[in-house]
Structure 1
Amino acid sequence: MLDTLIAKMGAIFFIILVFIAGALALLMMSKWFMVHNEAQFIARSMGKYGGYTTEADRNLKEFAREINADKSNFDAQVSACSPVSWGTVVTSEIRYTYRFAVGEYIPGFDVPLTGRGRSVSTYLDGAYNVSYTSPSY
């Protein structure tokens, strides 16, 4: 009788543990999709305007604020800070360190998430009136 009670409690504990780990993995995957989507958005913007614009920088800062990132766990790199000619490949890369943990009591670990975007520049001189910058986050 006691052994069945212990076995049931152990099974319930195991199911709860698997459920929590699955929920954390799902959250991590959704963060990775968000990071990858933002990197592709920036690359597409760089392809349209020929380089990294202040509008893209504003969007990147807003994205970092939405995922609660700070300078210690978020980094962005782009291949073209100034206008590049038509047909040049432009890339962007965002690195975000996701903390895989449950609260403060169970020790967690960091998972580096990297999103990469790639596009081809369709910029023509004089087509747009935009200002260029480098990632300031």
Structure 2
Amino acid sequence: MEEIKELTKENFIKFIKEHSFEYKTAQKSLCFAIIERMYRRCKMDYYFKDVKVCSEKGIVVDGNHRYLAYLLAGVSYDVVQWTSSRSDEPVEYKSLVIDLSKDWDCNGNQKFIDDGEWLKEFKREEKL
């Protein structure tokens, strides 16, 4: 995949349609604004926790926005084995509804929108 300098809605949709994903999801929709914000911060060397995966079903059960942001930014990430609900059915990422107009963090997670002091705890440590 060629490096994306700025994540636009257009190149995000292209990525979703063309990328061969290792995992699927149980989600039905995701928020572009959250993915774009995490992508931008990943490019600034921030890391927002590992991705939780149910290997039995091959799905991301926690960290869908992170998973996509990490892939788009080309950064390595760790996977934590997790369980899923019996009702969780694997869904291809290209089949998801992507909310391109609303920022889900405006509904109670306002601190995540701004780059503030809270972000420092997610900065990757310098490797010597």
TM over 0.5: no
- Greater share of residues in strand: 1
Q: Which has the larger radius of gyration?
A: 1
TM range (shorter): under 0.3
Q: Give me the TM-score of the superposition, normalised by structure 1.
A: 0.25
Q: Give me the TM-score of the superposition, normalised by structure 2.
A: 0.26
- Greater share of residues in helix: 1
